[in-house]
Homo-oligomer: A and B are copies of this chain.
Amino acid sequence: MADGRTPAAISGENLLFLTDEQLRQGIEAMFFAYRGFTADPDRILANLAYGRAHHRAIHFINRAPGTTVNNLLNILGVTKQSLNRVLRTMIEDGLVESRVGKSDKRERHLYLTDAGRALEGQLSDAQRVRMRSAFRDAGPDAVAGFRTVLEAMMDTEMQRTYTRLKESGA
């Protein structure tokens, strides 16, 4: 078995963690935790003229500088029109730069400007503070489990996107 559990161990550990009540608690935990997860950046964004959609765009442009609009579209899972509205305001405000592609001039490659990077840093700092505190409180084993479950919860398509980003990172 890939995870080192024998069939005996699996039936032995009597699957109590798969009861409907356990699953419901997992569902509610996701709901409440996601609120906490977005709360800190939301507070910062509320004072500017931006929202969560801007945060997401800015995060992934920072993560993969030079990404094309199409690529970003796939990562974010929204329509071109929806992304464009967000992108346009950030380009106008000088947070994002859009450069015509060298090899393929139809493509636009996206980069954060200095101002964009500054905001990105502010937002991700806030989000990381909470994440770091949660990780530290929970300990490395819990964190590993956390990531395993989240990965298993993604659509397979998103799993691939996530893994690609992860491997490009470090």
Name A's B-contacting residues (CB within 8 A): 3, 5, 13, 16-18, 20-37, 39, 56, 59, 63, 77, 124, 127-128, 130-155, 158-159, 161-162, 165-166, 169-170
Q: Are B27 and A34 touching (Cβ within 8 A)?
A: no
Sample 24 A-B pairs with CB under 8 A, ordered by A number.
Answer: A3-B139, A13-B140, A17-B140, A17-B144, A18-B136, A20-B128, A24-B169, A26-B147, A27-B37, A27-B131, A28-B165, A29-B146, A30-B33, A30-B37, A32-B161, A33-B149, A35-B155, A36-B154, A36-B155, A138-B145, A138-B149, A144-B145, A146-B146, A146-B149
Residues on the B chain within 8 Å of A37, using CB:
27, 30, 153
Asked if B63 and A24 sit within 8 Å, CB to CB, the answer is yes
B143 touches A141 (CB 8 A): no
For A161, the closest partner residue in chain B by CB is B32
- Expressed in whole angstroms, the Cα–Cα distance for A29 and B161 within the complex equals 10
CB distance from A141 to the nearest CB of B (A): 6
A-B pairs, top 8 by smallest CB distance, nearest first, are A145-B145, A142-B145, A134-B152, A33-B150, A146-B149, A142-B148, A29-B150, A134-B153
